[in-house]
Amino acid sequence: MTPFTSNPIFYTHCSVLTTRPIRWFLLLALCLCALSARAQTVALVTDVKGAVVFAPERSGKPVALLSELASGADILLDNGASLSFVYLQSGTEFELRGPAHITLGATAPQSVAGAGATLRSSVVAAETARLQTTNGRVVLGGMVMRGPGMDRFKLLEPTGKVLGTRPTFAWTRPPGAGSVQFELHDEGSDKLLLSTSVQGNQLVLDDSLQLQPGVNYVWRLTLEVPGANSLVRSSYFSLSSPQERERMEALRPGPQAPFSDRLIYASLLEQGRFLSEAHKLWLQLAQERPDLPELRTLANK
């Protein structure tokens, strides 16, 4: 009898069993690599007006402000619509007006139909390589406050880093509320630097108290509520270094600068943890463009 190990049928069968899983694994790996490369984010939407959607065969969904655009994305612009997006690595911004159909390349868009894209460069747009993105949105920080009475008693500024050297402390109080007790501490040592009662909703430090760049400070407000527990709110801040302040001020676009420049600058402020400065700009942009719900979300954080 021929040993079973020399049976050609056995060897053929074993070969199929052992090689087929390997082939499927390699094929799956190649597909995943291809999908990963194909879905690589290359650009960020900095302005959108009118009907702008991804091609129906892709998703047909509207293109939203601050959404990521992957290489190979097909985008359709209706008549009168407009779209601006900036390439994250190069900082080169493109503007489009509909009707148009484009496909996003790795470094520039290709026109499929209609008007082509117009290239626009700016100092602020060139900084987009510093932005980090996730899940289709710029990762924007910020302090979210919750709890009873938070909407009526909350801290406005400063939070995060401060560009100036003399921060202004501002907050809101419930109507008819009395004075608040203000405290300022050095976070590292917990040393009390200032404690005072304030009648209004704002406090400006006098020149006798010198704050140092790079030091974390905590400020705290206590509001006594008749017939209830005291309400306490606290936040942190630090002064930016002179070099960081100089850099951010050099990038600051003027009030008449293009919308996308001011949007990018607000994003850079937020990612740099200049939260109070960013919030002021989000509010301005949201008031300017009430058609963009994304800005309302950022302004109301």
Same domain? 125 vs 46: yes
In a domain, 253, yes or no: no
- Is 51 a residue whose pLDDT tops 90? yes
In a domain, 300, yes or no: no
Domain count, the chain: 2
Same domain? 167 vs 228: yes
Residue where one domain finishes, among candidates 201, 223, 239: 239
> Which has the minimum average pLDDT: 3-17, 101-115, 282-296?
3-17
pLDDT at res. 68: 87
Mean pLDDT value across residues 73-83? 94
In a domain, 47, yes or no: yes
Structural domain span for residue 193: 154-239
Residue where one domain finishes, among candidates 239, 254, 279: 239
In a domain, 20, yes or no: no
pLDDT for 170-226, tens place per residue? 998 887 778 899 999 998 888 999 999 998 899 998 888 889 998 999 999 998 876
Same domain? 234 vs 159: yes
In a domain, 135, yes or no: no
Same domain? 45 vs 119: yes
**Is the pTM value of this prediction over 0.85?**
no
Residue where one domain finishes, among candidates 239, 265, 289: 239
In a domain, 85, yes or no: yes
In a domain, 257, yes or no: no
Q: The CATH number of the domain where 172 resides is what?
A: 2.60.40.10
pLDDT for 145-169, tens place per residue? 333 344 578 888 998 999 888 899 9
DSSP-derived secondary structure for the chain: ---GGG-HHHHHHHHHHHHHHHHHHHHHHHHHHHHHHHT-EEEEEEEEES-EEE-TTTT-PBPPTT-EEETT-EEEE-TT-EEEEEETTT--EEEEESSEEEEE-SSSEEEEEESPPEEE--TTGGGGGG--EETTEE--------STTTTTSEEEE--EEESSSSPEEEEE--TT---EEEEEEETTTTEEEEEEEESSSEEE--TTS---BT--EEEEEEE--TTSPPEEEEEEEEEPPHHHHHHHHHHPPPTTS-HHHHHHHHHHHHHTT-HHHHHHHHHHHHHH-TT-HHHHHHHT-
In a domain, 255, yes or no: no
Same domain? 122 vs 194: no
- Is 268 a residue whose pLDDT tops 50? yes
pLDDT at res. 105: 92
pLDDT at res. 37: 39
Same domain? 109 vs 164: no
